[in-house]
Amino acid sequence: AQTVTQSQPEMSVQEAETVTLSCTYDTSESDYYLFWYKQPPSRQMILVIRQEAYKQQNATENRFSVNFQKAAKSFSLKISDSQLGDAAMYFCAYRKRPGNTPLVFGKGTRLSVIA
Amino acid sequence: ETGVTQSPTHLIKTRGQQVTLRCSSQSGHNTVSWYQQALGQGPQFIFQYYREEENGRGNFPPRFSGLQFPNYSSELNVNALELDDSALYLCASSFLVAGAGELFFGEGSRLTVL
């Protein structure tokens, strides 16, 4: 069974600084997706960024980027120029291809942004 | 296009009771999935419906059941509630295509079982 591990229950960052959230996963599959989701106090899961395992290039979305190390099964999220609105729970998730398989989530990292 | 809406947002039940949670999928989506998120945990997959048929289920007992309607709205039913069923229940809809149909989540229904 696939598992996703987030070893940092809580992180904090100063506004405008950079923070990296860690995620490792375990799978025997070679074709899959990895995701980072943000869950603010409103509780709605919002997709931050997606990485396809067959792509070597790391995904980026504005201030958010990932460091995908397939051999090491590591998938970290870097948030640059942190903003107060980035404060939330962040979940790393795995999804085996094809795309109608369920998401497997980690336990989450609570990110605080200090003004 | 409308987003995913869930009702009720909060509810309290007592052990042994039954509960029905509702989800209205995003317009045009044909797949709905339900997740249980216990306090301090990541969401756990309960089951998924595609065109009104269950086509995937996680490690949850049969007292967790669901329905998907022709308009792609959905219900999650839980019978014989237990204290451990207290959690946030998230609904997510997507349009199933080759590759990963992106999941769009609702804001969840928070269930407390006393």
Q: Name A83's bridge partners.
A: none
The span from the CA of A90 to the CA of B89, in Å, is 17
Which residues in chain B are closer than 8 Å to A98, comparing Cβ atoms?
A: 98-99
Per-chain mean pLDDT for chain A: 94
pLDDT in tens, A13-48: 999 999 999 999 999 998 999 999 999 988 889 999
Instruction: Give chain A's contact residues with B (Cβ, < 8 Å).
Output: 4, 33, 42-47, 50, 91, 93, 95, 97-108
The whole-number pLDDT of residue B100 equals 59
Nearest to A80 by CA among A58, A66, A63, A61: A63
A91 neighbors A105 (Cβ within 8 angstroms)? yes
Binning pLDDT at 50, 70 and 90, where does residue A59 land?
very high
Per DSSP, the three-state class of A88 is strand
B21 neighbors B89 (Cβ within 8 angstroms)? yes
pLDDT in tens, B76-108: 999 999 999 999 999 999 886 655 568 899 999
pLDDT in tens, B17-69: 999 999 999 888 888 999 999 999 999 999 999 888 998 999 999 999 999 99
The span from the CA of B7 to the CA of B15, in Å, is 20
Most A-contacting residue of B88, B95, B105 (CB-CB within 10 A), to test interface: B105
**DSSP secondary structure string for all residues of A35-50:** EEEEE-TT---EEEEE
Per DSSP, the three-state class of A86 is helix
Instruction: Give chain B's contact residues with A (Cβ, < 8 Å).
Output: 31, 33, 35, 40-45, 48, 50, 55-56, 58, 88, 90, 92, 96-103, 105-108, 110
The whole-number pLDDT of residue A75 equals 97
